[in-house]
Amino acid sequence: MNTKEPLVSVVIPTLNRSKMLTRAIESVCQQTYKNIEIIVIDDYSDTPVQLDDYNASCSLTISRNKERLGGAASRNRGAELANGTYISFLDDDDYYLEDKIDFLMHKLLEQPELIAAFGHVKGSGLKPNLLQDNTFITSFDAIGGLHTNGSLIKKEEFDKVKFLESLAKYQDTQLHMEMIKSQKVKYFNHPVAFWNKDHGEGQITDLKTTKQHIKGLKAFTTLEIYMKSIYTLSLSEYLYLLKNKIYLLSKCDKKMLAENDISYSWYESILLFLAGIYAKFKR
């Protein structure tokens, strides 16, 4: 280990996926960058995650929540336990490519004005065409090409933002929005991680129920209110929020909205009506 290298804390929240967790841990230990600590947050799995189950070749700490807290709170708790100058996150069923931290650390040290750097995550289905290599990310529209697994963040900057724990979904979107508002984040078109598209059951943010769309809409509305309350948003940022809210509204029928006491403004009603017409013509 080169102690002259800044310490990087990698936080991995996990829930009932101990077998997949093994690969995630190994991918961190096999990094070409060596000054790393791993913090696994067991979100009250049915069978507790035990340190003895993993023959890790790097620093590994496992902490178990006393109750099930969800992905956002588990990530925040991991960050609270982190000792690193930089922090990175990894889902338990995904993995890093071996030069992930080395590559992004080089970029952050080379450009000290940056608070975070993103690379490309293979298999994510995200749209990297929304981003340009080695360019500041200034638009919310770029969020469609970002993945938290592909980021490396200055710990002191993450601590100013953190994940919004009241969100059942879109915690990553919230984090990315807040970092974009700093105008000190860049994307680099270099593969750094792999996303497992076959997540299956047990995902901490899993919302695969009959009320999935309602939960998504409620979460996005919470995010919208939060962003408007603490930031001065540009017109394009308002439009981004509005566009996505209208999309989510269009996925819910009026009965579902009424049963869940969800209302919307007159202009959202007009846009929702127009979206319905567009969808019919598109078929």
Summarised one tens digit per residue, pLDDT across range 174-233 is: 999 999 999 999 999 999 999 987 654 444 444 445 478 888 999 999 999 999 999 999
**Cα-atom radius of gyration of the chain, to the nearest Å?**
20
DSSP-based three-state secondary structure for 46: coil
Which pLDDT score, from 0 to 100, does residue 270 have? 74
**Neighbour-count burial of 207, counting CB atoms closer than 10 A to its CB (0-12 exposed, 13-18 middle, 19+ buried):** middle
User: Taking the complete model, does pTM exceed 0.75, yes or no?
Assistant: yes
CA distance 153 to 166: 22
Q: What is the pLDDT of residue 273?
A: 64
**87-104: per-residue pLDDT in tens?**
999 999 999 999 999 999
- Residue spans of the chain under pLDDT 70: 1-3, 198-210, 266-267, 271-283
Three-class SS of residue 239? helix
The letter for the amino acid at 265 is S
Segments of the chain assigned to CATH 3.90.550.10? 8-194
Q: What is the pLDDT of residue 251?
A: 83
The pLDDT, as a whole number, for residue 202 is 41
Tell me the CATH number for domain 8-194: 3.90.550.10
DSSP of 170-227, one letter per residue? -HHHHHHHHHHHHT-EEEEEEEEEE--S---TT-TT---STTHHHHHHHHHHHHHHHH
